[in-house]
C-alpha cells in the first residue's frame, strides 16, 4: 500500500510472538491532535499493519477532513501487540486516561470498551514495578509515609497475603530474628507493607500484609523486639495501581523479586502460580504482560520457557473436559502422595499441616489439637501456622462448600487469631486426566 506524502510511519513495534491484534496511534503534527485505535489482522502470516487494506476505524469527520482535505502532516505508529481482548483493555485504558471523547486534542468519539476478563496491561506492570522500586529506594510515592514502631501484636492480627509457595521458611525467619536480637531489638531497615481497606477474592479486609511477613514473625518471636515499622498504603493510593486480584498477586510477588537484602525471592514454582492466575484471567504465555512480569523477576530465558510451559500444562489439564475424573485423595496412590506431602511439610517447625475433604469438613479437630499441643510446650515449639489443604470429592460437594466458604474461613481465621496462629487455606487440584 502506497502511503500519502503527508503521512510518515514513525514506528512499528516488533511482533516476535506473532500476535494478531495491535494498538496504533495517529498524530496530527500540524494541529497537534491524536487518534488511537486497535485492529485485528485476518491472516497474521501474510499481513501486517497497513497491508490488509485497513487504515483506521475513526468516524470523526474532523479526522477525515484533516487527513484527506487539509492533508495535515500525520505520523503513524503501532505501539503494542497482543490478543484482541488485551488490546481492547489497553485502548480503553489509554483513552480513559486522557478522557479522549471529551478532549478537544483527540479525534476519538468514545473511550473504547475494555474487555470484561482482561484487566492487566503492560503499563500496569511498569507502574507496579516503579511503585515497588520507589519504596525499596526509600523514595515513597504518592505521599506515603512510614509509620514507625507499630506494636507487633497489632501487625500480627492483619490478614497475611503470601504469594510464595513456601508460606513460612523457618531458616529465613530465624536469620531475621538473630539480626534483631543482635541489635538488641532494633528492627530499623525492616518493615511490613500493608494495604488498607482492600477487597481480595470478594472478601473485604481492613488491613492486608503483602510484604514483610517473615520480618513481622521474626519481630514477634524475638525476645528483644516489640515494634516494627509499617508502610500503610491507603485505598486512595492502591486504587491507582491495584485494579483486580491479579494486580494484588503481582504486587505481592514483585515485592520479592530477585535482588533484595535479607528477603526471600520468588521461585520458579511461585512464578508458575502467578502466571496461571494471569492465564485464567484471559492472557496467554505469549502476552507482553507475562513476559514483563517474568523480566521483572530477572528470570533467565530458559527459566522463562520452563515457567511458561508449566503454566500452559496446568491450564491444559484444568481446561480439558474429556477423560477427567475427580481426584479422590482418600484412596489409592493419590492418598499415598498426599500423606507423603503432609508428612514432609509437618517436619517444619511451628507448622501444623492437614488435609480435609469438604464433604465432611470440620475444623474442630485441628483447633483442639493446636490448643492442647500449645498448652504443653515452650514458646519456641508452639504451633504458629495452620495450613489446611481442602479437596472436593465431586461437583456437588464443591457447590455446597462454596455456599459457606467465606463464612467458614473467616470464622476459622478469627478463632486462630485468638490462639496467635496464622491460617493458610489452599485447595488441591480437583480433577485429573484418566
- Are residues 226 and 185 both part of a single domain? yes
Give the per-residue pLDDT at 262. Answer: 43
The domain boundary residue, chosen from 319, 339, 361: 319
Classify residue 142: in a domain, yes or no.
yes
CA pair distance 130, 109, nearest whole angstrom = 32
Classify residue 407: in a domain, yes or no.
yes
- Are residues 60 and 131 both part of a single domain? no
Which has the closest alpha carbon to 346: 330, 378, 377, 370?
A: 370
Give the per-residue pLDDT at 323. Answer: 58
What's the grid cell of residue 403?
455456599
Classify residue 126: in a domain, yes or no.
yes
Range of the domain at 364: 321-434
Averaged in consecutive runs of 10 residues, what is the pLDDT profile of the chain (434 residues)?
79 87 94 93 64 74 91 92 90 93 93 80 89 89 93 91 62 87 92 93 90 90 93 94 88 70 64 88 88 87 91 80 77 91 90 93 93 91 92 90 87 90 89 72
- Are residues 171 and 57 both part of a single domain? no
- Are residues 51 and 157 both part of a single domain? no
Enter the DSSP assignment of 380: G
Give the per-residue pLDDT at 47. Answer: 55
Classify residue 143: in a domain, yes or no.
yes
Question: What is the number of structural domains in the chain?
Answer: 3
Give the per-residue pLDDT at 90. Answer: 92
Specify the DSSP element, H or E, that contains 151. strand 146-151
Give the per-residue pLDDT at 22. Answer: 92
Q: Residue 425 is part of a domain; what is its CATH number? A: 3.40.50
Give the per-residue pLDDT at 260. Answer: 41
Burial class (CB in 10 A: 0-12, 13-18, 19+), 302: exposed
- Are residues 433 and 334 both part of a single domain? yes
- Are residues 242 and 134 both part of a single domain? yes
- Are residues 139 and 88 both part of a single domain? no
Amino acid at each position: 500500500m502506497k502511503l500519502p506524502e503527508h503521512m510518515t510511519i514513525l514506528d512499528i513495534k516488533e511482533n516476535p510472538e506473532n500476535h494478531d491484534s495491535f494498538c496504533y496511534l495517529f498524530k496530527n503534527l500540524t494541529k497537534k491532535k491524536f487518534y488511537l485505535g486497535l485492529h485485528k489482522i485476518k491472516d497474521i502470516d501474510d499481513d501486517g499493519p497497513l497491508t490488509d487494506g485497513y487504515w483506521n476505524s475513526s468516524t470523526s469527520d474532523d479526522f477525515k477532513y484533516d487527513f484527506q482535505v487539509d492533508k495535515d502532516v500525520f505520523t503513524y505508529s503501532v505501539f503494542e501487540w497482543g490478543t484482541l481482548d488485551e488490546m481492547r483493555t489497553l485502548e480503553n485504558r489509554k483513552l480513559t486516561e486522557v478522557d479522549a471523547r471529551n478532549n478537544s486534542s483527540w479525534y476519538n468519539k468514545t473511550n473504547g470498551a475494555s474487555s470484561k476478563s482482561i484487566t492487566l496491561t503492560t503499563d500496569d506492570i511498569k507502574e507496579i514495578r516503579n511503585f515497588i522500586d520507589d519504596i525499596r529506594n526509600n523514595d515513597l510515592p504518592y505521599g506515603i509515609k512510614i509509620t514507625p514502631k507499630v506494636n507487633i501484636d497489632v501487625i500480627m492480627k492483619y490478614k497475611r497475603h503470601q504469594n510464595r509457595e513456601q508460606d513460612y521458611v523457618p531458616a529465613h525467619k530465624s536469620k531475621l530474628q538473630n539480626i534483631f536480637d543482635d541489635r538488641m531489638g532494633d528492627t530499623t531497615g525492616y518493615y511490613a507493607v500493608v494495604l488498607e481497606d482492600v477487597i481480595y477474592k470478594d472478601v473485604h479486609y481492613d488491613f492486608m500484609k503483602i510484604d514483610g511477613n517473615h520480618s513481622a514473625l521474626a519481630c514477634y518471636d524475638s525476645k528483644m523486639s516489640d515494634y516494627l515499622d509499617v508502610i500503610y498504603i491507603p485505598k486512595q493510593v492502591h486504587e491507582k495501581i491495584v485494579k483486580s486480584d491479579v494486580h494484588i498477586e503481582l504486587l505481592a510477588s514483585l515485592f520479592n523479586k530477585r535482588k533484595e537484602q535479607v528477603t526471600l525471592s520468588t521461585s520458579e514454582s511461585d512464578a508458575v502460580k502467578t502466571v496461571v492466575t494471569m492465564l485464567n484471567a484471559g492472557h496467554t504465555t505469549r502476552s507482553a504482560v507475562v513476559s514483563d512480569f517474568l523480566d521483572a523477576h530477572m528470570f533467565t530465558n530458559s527459566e522463562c520457557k520452563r515457567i511458561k510451559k508449566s503454566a500452559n500444562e496446568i491450564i491444559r489439564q484444568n481446561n480439558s473436559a474429556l477423560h477427567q475424573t475427580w481426584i479422590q485423595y482418600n484412596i489409592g496412590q493419590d492418598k499415598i502422595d498426599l500423606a507423603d506431602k503432609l508428612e514432609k511439610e509437618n517436619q517444619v517447625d511451628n507448622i501444623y499441616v492437614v488435609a480435609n475433604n469438604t464433604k465432611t469438613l470440620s475444623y474442630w479437630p485441628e483447633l483442639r489439637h493446636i490448643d492442647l499441643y500449645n498448652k504443653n510446650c515452650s514458646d519456641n515449639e508452639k504451633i504458629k501456622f495452620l495450613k489446611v489443604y481442602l479437596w472436593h470429592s465431586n461437583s456437588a460437594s464443591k457447590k455446597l462448600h462454596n455456599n459457606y466458604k467465606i463464612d467458614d474461613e473467616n470464622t476459622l481465621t478469627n478463632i486462630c487469631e485468638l490462639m496467635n496462629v496464622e491460617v493458610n487455606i489452599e485447595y488441591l487440584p480437583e480433577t485429573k486426566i484418566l
